[in-house]
Structure 1
Amino acid sequence: MFRDATLEDLAALRDLERESNLAALGHVFPADRFPFPDDAVLARWSLVLDEPGCEVLVLDDPEPSRSRSRLIAYAAYDDSWLRHLAVRPDHWGEGLASSAIDTALHAMDLRGSTSASLWCLEENRRARRLYEYLGWRPTEDRQPAPWPPHPTEMRYERLIVASTR
């Protein structure tokens, strides 16, 4: 289902991030005031793909279209952080985010991690509902997001249930 991302996926990762952010976070980042930072996001994805210990999983669209991203989901993680997660809006509610999170948590478990963390915008209510449903718990940690207007991010954490490793 999911596969490892490659450098050929850079533009598709950016495009999926843009599409999902516009749908989920338009109230936080109004496009007319804060245009999506295409070049900066593309550069960040290049760094993420090249970073040792960071894995990026992607799910290809079985029916690609020129009008949308060719990816329908991605998850980036390292030993103990779920760093990036997105699902294309026309696939919301299909369980893809949960599947991506489960895959990342299992990989963290195999690396010996016993807990995981992530940052989520306070205003991203849909994502917060999902994380809390899946057992993530908010912490007191807060920080400004890197992108203007720098809304507040909050940290979530959860225990990783040990497998048979």
Structure 2
Amino acid sequence: MLLRAARLPDLPALLDVQEAGAVLALHSIFPQDTHPFPRADLERRWAAEIAHPDIDVHVIERIPGRIEGFVAIRGAELLHFGTAVDTWGTGLAAGAHAEIVAKLEAPAFLRVFEENHRARRFYEKMGWRRTAWQSRSSFAPHPVLLRYELDLDL
């Protein structure tokens, strides 16, 4: 088992993982000179999500005490999912994904940045399919978010 329930003391390490991945993978969407990683805003959001009774927040750990990723789920929606940069390409994300899918309600869906090609390739490899729906992020510069769905019956 890779997932365990997240706790408030996990936030610094969780945010370290999220920030490193976001800066690397999303630099074309959120240039750090004009749109730096909003750590304080995301810390408040994570704290609220950990406290929210309808949101399941988990960290990914293979070794106790070493957070290598994060997940948040609300019913059928995969809200957040990411792994540490040094784990990319190791299969950790695929293993965690299998545990995540088992926790989702149907019809499962997520939103991903249109320009996050790495994440989109991963989700498509895992069986997620893009829909016609799209929206914009609440974070400036408000990039396009695409909706993906997963058939949990497969």
Q: Same fold (TM over 0.5)?
A: yes
RMSD: 1.7
Structure number with larger C-alpha Rg: 1
Aligned length: 153
Calculate the TM-score normalised by the size of structure 2.
Answer: 0.92
Aligned to 1:59: 60
The structure 1 segments of at least 4 consecutive aligned residues displaced by more than 6 Å after TM superposition are none
Which residue identity lines up with residue 45 of structure 1 in the other structure?
A: W
SS in 1 for 2:82: strand
| Percent identical residues | 35
Task: Give, in angstroms, the shift of residue 73 of structure 1.
Answer: 1.1
- How far residue 63 of structure 1 moved from its aligned partner, in angstroms, is 9.3
Contact kept, 8 Å, 1:13 with 1:45, in 2: the verdict is: no
| Alpha-carbon separation, structure 1, partners of 2:4 and 2:24 | 25
Task: Give 1:94 shift.
Answer: 1.4
Counterpart position of 2:151: 159
- 1:85 equivalenced with 2:81 (yes/no): yes
* Counterparts of residues 38-49 of structure 1 (less than 5 Å): 38-49=39-50
Distance 2:22 2:118 in 1: 12
Alignment partner of 1:139 is 2:135? no
Provide the secondary structure at the position in 2 that maps to 1:153.
strand
Give the Å deviation of 1:22: 0.6
What letter matches 1:149 in structure 2? Answer: P
Q: Contact between 1:83 and 1:118, CA under 8 Å: does it hold in 2?
A: yes
- SS in structure 1 opposite 2:145? strand
Q: Which runs of 5+ in 1 are unaligned?
A: 65-69
1:1-165 pair list within 5 angstroms: 1-60=2-61, 62=63, 70-108=66-104, 113-161=105-153
